[in-house]
């Protein structure tokens, strides 16, 4: 099982990247599970017709110990298994602790044993890499970490913090930073900025995703670009990204 975590600053396009990665891998014949680890619970929307699915934490609040795997997992486009950790009741509780609770419930219900995915993708908010938000790179949940960033200052700053966190966990044998995904925002000298950042953290860019209106058009249809516009150049970019990511995970 290949375990991948995508980290990035909120609003950087991480979930769009994750969903298109899942769809591209599914096209390649892999059985894929995508786990959203953002309290907004919007990671898998493009795989599920634009609809939000019941989160693990919502299911626990509703059913307690009676929660079944079928309550928290949905089958999206391409047969991708979709799970959203969810977040605490607004104003009450800790989002990071909520992720830990969700992961514990997934383990108890045997999610990986039942669905037997070839690839698991964790889509994780990376503004603050502490507590529950570091959960995917702890205890063997995700061995391979990719950072999604643009050339914007705050996106690179957040990506740098993620790289530091991964480096700390690498010493314990948990996870490795495998590469950087540039989700372009067309800022001045963007590629050069991200190339320098990747060099500074002793990593490399594994994919450059151009800014393209097809992303918004696909989202309006409740789809990924790969599913909605399969013949487009952008869909091919996501497919190439998927191949590059698999290659990095094999090394």
Catalytic residues: 9, 14, 40, 127
Structure tokens at 23: 């769809």
Inter-CA distances, 85 with 28, 55, 192, Å:
26, 5, 35
CA torsion through residues 16, 18, 20, 22, sign: negative
* DSSP secondary structure letter of residue 65: G
215-to-9, 25, 211, 219, 242 alpha-carbon distances in Å: 18, 18, 8, 6, 17
Token code pair at residue 198: 């990747």
Residue with tokens 């990506």: 159
**Bridge partner residues of 242 (DSSP):** none
List the beta bridge partners of residue 38.
none
3-state secondary structure 203-235: CCEEEEECCCCHHHHHHHCCCCHHHHCCCCHHH
From the number of C-beta atoms within 10 Å of its C-beta (0-12, 13-18, 19+), residue 199 rates as exposed
If DSSP codes are grouped into helix, strand and coil, which group holds residue 27? helix
How far is the C-alpha of 121 from the C-alpha of 142, rounded, in Å? 8
């Amino acid at each position: 099982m290949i375990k991948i975590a995508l980290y990035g600053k909120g609003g950087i396009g991480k979930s769009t990247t994750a969903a298109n990665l899942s769809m591209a891998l599914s096209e390649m014949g892999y059985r894929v599970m995508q786990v959203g680890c953002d309290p907004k619970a919007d990671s898998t929307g493009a795989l599920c017709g634009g609809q939000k699915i019941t989160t693990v934490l919502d299911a626990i609040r509703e059913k307690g110990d009676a929660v079944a795997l079928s309550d928290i997992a949905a089958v999206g486009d391409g047969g991708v298994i979709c799970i959203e950790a969810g977040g605490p009741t607004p104003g009450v509780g800790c989002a990071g602790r909520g992720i830990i609770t969700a992961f514990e419930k997934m383990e108890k219900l045997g999610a990986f044993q039942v669905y037997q995915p070839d690839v698991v993708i964790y889509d994780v908010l990376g503004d603050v890499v502490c507590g529950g938000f570091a959960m995917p790179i702890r205890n063997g949940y995700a061995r391979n970490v990719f950072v999604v960033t643009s050339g914007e200052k705050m996106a690179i700053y957040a990506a740098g913090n993620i790289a530091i966190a991964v480096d700390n966990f690498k010493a314990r044998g948990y996870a490795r930073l495998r590469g950087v995904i540039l989700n372009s925002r067309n800022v001045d000298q963007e590629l050069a900025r991200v190339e320098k950042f990747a060099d500074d953290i002793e990593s490399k860019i594994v994919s450059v995703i151009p800014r393209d209106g097809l992303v918004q058009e696909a989202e309006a249809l409740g789809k990924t670009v790969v599913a909605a516009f399969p013949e487009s150049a952008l869909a091919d970019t996501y497919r190439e990204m998927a191949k590059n990511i698999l290659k990095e995970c094999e090394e």
